[in-house]
Amino acid sequence: MIDDRIPLSDAAELFPKRNGKPPQWATLRRWNAKGIRGVKLAMFRVGGRWYTTRQAVVDFIQECNPELGTEPQLPLLRPDPQQGMSPVMRKLTARGYCGAKAKEELLGVPKRR
């Protein structure tokens, strides 16, 4: 079990996203402490860090959603960096803009006087 441990920050990426964001690590800790409808996420502590396993995430999702019936499809831990980006952000990234440029330059709007 310790060999396949996943830090909570990485394990959060395995859960479905809400509003484009994964759950916070504190949410995972709450699911461990209080659970959802009596189902708790299994995790363990090594030193000062909390960990869980991919199998524990699968079991937790299945037990919370018995109507699924099959094993949920979990995403890879290292998703495509552009996945989840808005079309505008993808376009800006493709053009090489990185947020340090002025808003007017990014949007092509002339500066106001």
Q: Give yes or no: residues 16 and 64 share one domain.
A: yes
pLDDT tens per residue across span 36-86: 888 999 999 888 888 999 889 888 888 888 776 666 565 555 445 555 666
Question: Is position 75 within any domain?
Answer: no
Q: Give yes or no: residues 49 and 87 share one domain.
A: no
What pLDDT was estimated at residue 16? 83
What pLDDT was estimated at residue 64? 85
Which of 76, 29, 19, 84 minimizes the C-alpha distance to 51? 29
Its domain, for residue 113, covers 80-113
Opening angle at CA 78, ends 40 and 51, nearest 5: 30
| Tokens (6 digits) for 5 | 């441990």
Q: Give yes or no: residues 51 and 94 share one domain.
A: no
pLDDT tens per residue across span 90-108: 666 667 655 444 455 555 5
What b/e string do you get for 52-66 counting C-beta neighbours within 10 Å, with b at 16 or more? bbeebbeebbebeee
Q: How many domains does the chain have?
A: 2
What pLDDT was estimated at residue 69? 63
| Tokens (6 digits) for 55 | 């199998």
Residue 64 near residue 39 (C-beta atoms within 8 A): yes
Q: How many residues does the chain have?
A: 113
Question: Is position 73 within any domain?
Answer: no
Q: Give yes or no: residues 43 and 93 share one domain.
A: no
Q: Give yes or no: residues 64 and 85 share one domain.
A: no
